[in-house]
Amino acid sequence: MARKLAVIGAGLMGSGIAQVSAQAGWDVVLRDVTDEALARGRGGIEASYEKFVAKGKLEAAAAEQALARITTTTDLEAVADADVVVEAVFEKIEVKREIFQSLDKIAKDGAVLASNTSAIPITKIAAATSRPERVVGTHFFSPVPMMQLCELVRGYKTSDETLAAAREFAESVGKTCIVVNRDVAGFVTTRLISALVVEAAKLYESGVATAEDIDIACKLGFGHAMGPLATADLTGIDILMHATENIYTETQDEKFAPPESMRRMVDAGDIGRKSGQGFYEH
């Protein structure tokens, strides 16, 4: 398998995917719309490699080589010779469809066109292209260098060959894959965490228990590494609420309707670790 990867979006997820792929030997082109976003993304990758080197988990020479494999650009045409293209932009269907329409014109025949969406049905994204059989979901988890999972999502028309190529890519960068065979909104992981976070937030909102005690219950009662409210703070309450709303819009299932307190937290900017305040103070 040729090893040229294009990543669209240099945010936390896109730069994380670029980082693990370059480290695994892929030549990576990282594309965003501004030089500032690209500089931030590249800076984050450098800092992450430095941490791994400092902890003795990565040789300094290997980090240097990996960094040299990453080129940044604002030009979408740079994806033309990529074997795999991973889109990792904001979770808005209109934005993603627009990108995939462009990728359809630019990407070479046979390229895997993947989306890192956590909740939007792949079929809806793929329908923007003339080659829906080449479109697949590759849902990585944050922070990408640390999290082991990649959720592969088969759209209504995704071919077996595309799914196999996506698995080969994800496994080559060190991830364990699960396959979502039916393209439901939220797939497997986002549906599970959304239902759990929404219920936890409702229990917290109605004063049944403190955030700490709800999380301790999940950790010690169910063996979870992290409780649902701490997970929401880490992921970003805004991001989780947005994903949950996508599932609710698609299913009209009340268990995915975010409670009012969660909406108010987002309105107020209390969105978790990145703002210093969420269900916990950070």
The domains located in the chain, with CATH, are 4-180 (3.40.50.720), 189-268 (1.10.1040.50)
Within a 10 A sphere around the Cβ of 213, how many other Cβ atoms?
Answer: 12
Q: Per 3-state DSSP, what percentage of the chain is helix, strand, and coil (rounded to 5)?
A: 50, 15, 35
**Ligand-binding site membership of 96 (annotated):** no
How confident is the chain (282 residues) per 10-residue block, as mean pLDDT? 87 96 97 97 97 96 97 96 96 94 96 94 96 98 94 98 98 98 92 96 96 98 96 92 90 94 96 95 94
Report pLDDT for 246: 86
Token pair recorded at residue 279: 């269900």
Nearest to 116 by CA among 141, 99, 93: 141
Token pair recorded at residue 271: 């969105």
Q: Which residues contact 159 (CB under 8 A, 6 or more apart)?
A: 133, 134
Report pLDDT for 91: 86
Q: Cα(12)–Cα(90) distance, rounded to whole angstroms?
A: 11
**Ligand-binding site membership of 48 (annotated):** yes
Predicted structure pTM score: 0.91
Q: Which residues contact 256 (CB under 8 A, 6 or more apart)?
A: 186, 191, 194, 195, 198, 244, 245, 247, 248
Report pLDDT for 243: 87
Q: Cα(248)–Cα(262) distance, rounded to whole angstroms?
A: 15
Report pLDDT for 37: 97
Report pLDDT for 119: 84
Going by the DSSP 8-state scheme, the letter that residue 281 receives in this structure is B
Report pLDDT for 13: 96
Nearest to 115 by CA among 71, 176, 59, 180: 180
Query: Residue 154 in contact with residue 163, Cβ under 8 Å?
Result: yes
The dihedrals phi and psi of 138, each to the nearest 5 degrees, come to -125, 90
- Rg, the chain, Cα only: 19
Q: Which amino acid is at 13?
A: M
Nearest to 142 by CA among 82, 190, 180, 212: 190
